[in-house]
Structure formats: C-alpha cells, structure tokens
C-alpha cells in the first residue's frame, strides 16, 4: 500500500522534577509525534524530539526538515519511501529523519506481521514460532547525584534494578566522591552504579575521580571529558577497570578510529542522534565486531520514542542493561510506555512498533504547524 497522508501532533510534556546534568536543567520535554497512514488505513508512528545538547538539531530545524522530507514520500510504497530517505549516519537533521524512518519501519513490520525488533533483525514474515522480543535489562534512571538519597537507592534496588544510573559533574568533585562513598554503603552487593558526567571535567580531574573511586562499585563512567579526543579517552580507559563510555561526543569524534583503537569500552547510542534505528543498529553492530559494547538509551523521550529504542535494544539483544527506564520522569505522556517489571522492559508480539497514541492527541497536517 502507498503512503496516503502524513500528520503530526506537537507535544509539551512536563517532568515530575528537574532533570539536572553538568550543563543544563530540563523541566519539560517537547517534540512531535508523526503519523504516516497508508491506503489501507494502517498507521505507522515515529517521534521527533530534538535535543541539541544531546547531539541533534534544534526544534525549528527539525520541523523544517519534516516539512521537507515528507511531501516527496507521499504516494510511494513504504519500502520505496524508506529507500528514498537520505542516508541516516550523516544526516544534519537526525531527529527528524529518525521519526520518518521509524514510522516507515512501523508500517513495514506491521505489513510483515512481526514486531519491529524482528524486522530490524532481517525477518520479513511471521515466523512459525513466537516472535515475542526478548526481555531487555534496564538501568534505573535515578537522576542527579545531588538530589539522591539512601531511600531512593533502596527503592530502585527493590524494584529489581541491578544497575543504577546517576548524573554527576554537578557538584564539586570532592563532594561527589564523598556522596558516592556514602551511597555505596547502602548499595546491595548485587547492585552497581553507572555514572554520567556529561562532559563536566578536564582530563586531569577525570583521572583523579577515577583513581579516587577505584574501589567503589561503579561499572561505567559516561562522558567524563569536557573536550574529548581519542587519545585522552584511551588514556583514561587504560588507567581504570571501570568502563569508559562516550555518548553525545560520538558526533565530534572519528568513530572508525575510536572503534579500531578500542579507546573506550562502550558506546551509548540514542537513535535520534544517529538518524534512526537502522543507522544506530549498524553502528552498534560495527562496535560489537570491534569488541566495543553498546548501551541503547532514551533522552527522556515520550512513550513512542522509548518504544522504538526498546525494539532496537531487543534486536541487539546483548544482555547489557539499557537506559530506557525514563518514562516515570514524565508527568504526562503521548501514550502508554512499555511495561517494566523486575528491572526489565517487556515488549509483546504485536506487529510493528506496537505504540498506540493517547486518544486525546490531535494529529494535524504538517502545514498547519509553525516553528516555535
């Protein structure tokens, strides 16, 4: 069936508490839901939620890109429309492209009668056995170290999370080391910490932090360097048993050299930054073949974006804990997020993405929107 219409729903979702990082404080999440409908009435959904601080384009640029990308695709079959999209890895408007690609993949997976995760893995028709995606291990999204307390740690661990992620780089480094030591005293033996400094420190400070925390149960330190380069990252990684990871810095680094040298042990991958699920999956597979692990995460996306990222994590199925337990930070959402229980995210065998928007969401033709 050919694409018959493209409509969007702008959203503004308040957070339950400010999301603090080393460089910003976020109080709400804004973006657009995209709905592509084909001639049979089938609907595919994607989310365009740009966040420039996380490596994507601005909101105004993303909306202009949607207006440019979509009209030439109408009237085409979904498979042909997908081939017509510009390459994802080098896109200057990755969040917009990611939304269009996700909606097209949703339609194609529905047409094949299989979950999107199976479609991403190359399946093109319903298998004889169940196609239910595997459970996805998650880290708890605990927010900033500056705002965490002992009870928050106990609550997350009792909910089945074995990896607890905290934002650091907000306070003075010695104060943060002291707080981490205090939290470690209440952390159950099976649980570990995952830290994200959001490019807070110069290289010498990052090295001092790693040395001071070498005996703590920290399994990963993400984006420690204010001005990252491959040599400095490799020096940090060579000097610690803690996994060093890059996230937003990947767009300013030579990814081929980074992987070839194994300068870090992990990549943190957000589909909207890389232009969609397919380029993100390709990067993750290249990293895996180089011996670099990949974590799939959400940038406080709405239910649609989290669900898409969950299908990517299920397709990758590397048994690591991924960063997709973020929906509880939103006071409102665009639909029902995936089910989480005992520290795992569970997708069902529904064909396609499996996202259903809240019935109150009003989708309008793209031309009726304006840039804010």
pLDDT digits (tens, 9 = 90+) for 275-303: 999 999 999 999 999 999 999 999 999 99
Domain 3-128+357-368: give its CATH code. 3.30.390.10
Instruction: Report CA-CA distances (Å) from 191 to 43, 93, 186, 187.
Output: 41, 38, 10, 6
pLDDT band at 371 (very low <50, low <70, confident <90, very high): very low
Question: For the chain, which residues make up each domain, given as ranges?
Answer: 3-128+357-368, 136-346
Which residue would you say has higher pLDDT here, 91 or 148?
148
312 and 277 in contact (C-beta within 8 Å)? Answer: yes
Position 319 pLDDT exceeds 60? yes
pLDDT at residue 130 in the model: 64
Position 90 pLDDT exceeds 70? no
pLDDT at residue 301 in the model: 96
Mean pLDDT, the chain, whole residue set: 93
DSSP-based three-state secondary structure for 41? coil
For 12-52, the pLDDT digits (tens) are 999 998 887 877 788 999 999 999 999 999 999 999 999 88
Rounded to the nearest 5°, which phi and psi values hold at 274?
-100, 5
pLDDT band at 240 (very low <50, low <70, confident <90, very high): very high
Q: Is 179 exposed, middle or buried (0-12, 13-18, 19+ CB in 10 A)?
A: middle
- Domain 3-128+357-368 shares a fold with domain 136-346: no
Position 233 pLDDT exceeds 60? yes
Specify the pairing of strand 3-20 against strand 25-38. Answer: antiparallel
Q: What is the mean pLDDT of residues 323-336?
A: 96
Q: Which range (61-65, 85-89, 328-332, 368-372) has the least confidence?
A: 368-372
Contacts of 113-119 with C-beta under 8 Å, sequence gap 24+, read 113/351, 114/351, 115/311, 115/314, 115/347, 115/348, 115/349, 115/350, 115/351, 115/352, 115/354, 116/277, 116/308, 116/311, 116/352, 116/353, 116/354, 117/311, 117/312, 117/314, 117/315, 117/347, 118/315
Distance (Å, whole) CA 155 – CA 153: 5
Position 242 pLDDT exceeds 50? yes
Fold of 136-346: TIM Barrel (3.20.20)
pLDDT at residue 372 in the model: 42
DSSP 195-262: EE--S-B-HHHHHHHHHHTTTS-EEEEE--BSS--HHHHHHHHHT-SSEEEESGGGGGS-HHHHHHHT
pLDDT at residue 110 in the model: 96
Specify the pairing of strand 344-346 against strand 243-246. Answer: unpaired
Q: Which residues face 218 on adjacent strands?
A: 193
Q: Is 59 exposed, middle or buried (0-12, 13-18, 19+ CB in 10 A)?
A: buried
């Amino acid at each position: 069936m050919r694409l018959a219409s493209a409509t969007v729903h702008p959203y503004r979702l308040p957070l339950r508490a400010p999301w603090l990082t080393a460089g910003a404080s976020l109080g709400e999440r804004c973006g657009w839901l995209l709905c592509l409908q084909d001639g049979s009435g089938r609907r595919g959904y994607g989310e365009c939620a740009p966040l420039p601080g996380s490596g994507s384009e601005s909101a105004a640029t993303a909306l202009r890109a949607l207006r440019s990308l979509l009209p030439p695709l109408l009237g085409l079959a979904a498979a042909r429309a997908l081939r017509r999209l510009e390459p994802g890895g080098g896109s200057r408007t990755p969040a917009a492209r990611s939304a269009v690609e996700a909606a097209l993949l949703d339609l194609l997976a529905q047409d094949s009668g299989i979950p999107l995760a199976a479609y991403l893995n190359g399946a093109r028709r319903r298998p004889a056995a169940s196609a239910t995606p595997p459970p996805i291990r998650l880290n708890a999204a605990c927010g900033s170290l500056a705002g965490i307390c002992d009870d928050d740690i106990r609550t997350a661990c009792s909910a089945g999370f074995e990896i607890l992620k905290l934002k650091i780089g907000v306070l003075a480094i010695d104060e943060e080391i002291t707080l981490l030591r205090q939290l470690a005293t209440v952390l159950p033996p099976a649980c570990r910490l995952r830290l994200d400094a959001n490019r807070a420190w110069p290289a010498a400070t990052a090295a001092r932090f790693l040395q001071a925390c070498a005996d703590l149960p920290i399994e990963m330190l993400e984006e420690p360097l204010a001005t990252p380069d491959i040599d400095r990252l490799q020096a940090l990684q060579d000097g610690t048993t803690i996994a060093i990871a890059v996230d937003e810095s990947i767009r300013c680094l030579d990814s081929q050299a980074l992987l070839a040298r194994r300068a870090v042990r992990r990549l943190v991958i957000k589909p909207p930054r890389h232009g969609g699920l397919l380029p993100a999956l390709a990067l993750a597979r290249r990293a895996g073949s180089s011996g670099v692990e990949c974590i799939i995460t959400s940038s406080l996306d709405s239910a649609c974006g989290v669900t898409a990222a969950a299908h990517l994590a299920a397709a990758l199925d590397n048994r690591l804990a991924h960063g997709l337990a973020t929906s509880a930070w939103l006071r409102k959402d665009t639909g029902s997020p995936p089910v989480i229980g005992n520290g795992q995210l569970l997708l069902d065998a529904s064909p396609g993405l499996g996202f259903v928007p809240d019935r109150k969401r009003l989708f309008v033709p793209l031309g009726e929107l304006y840039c804010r």
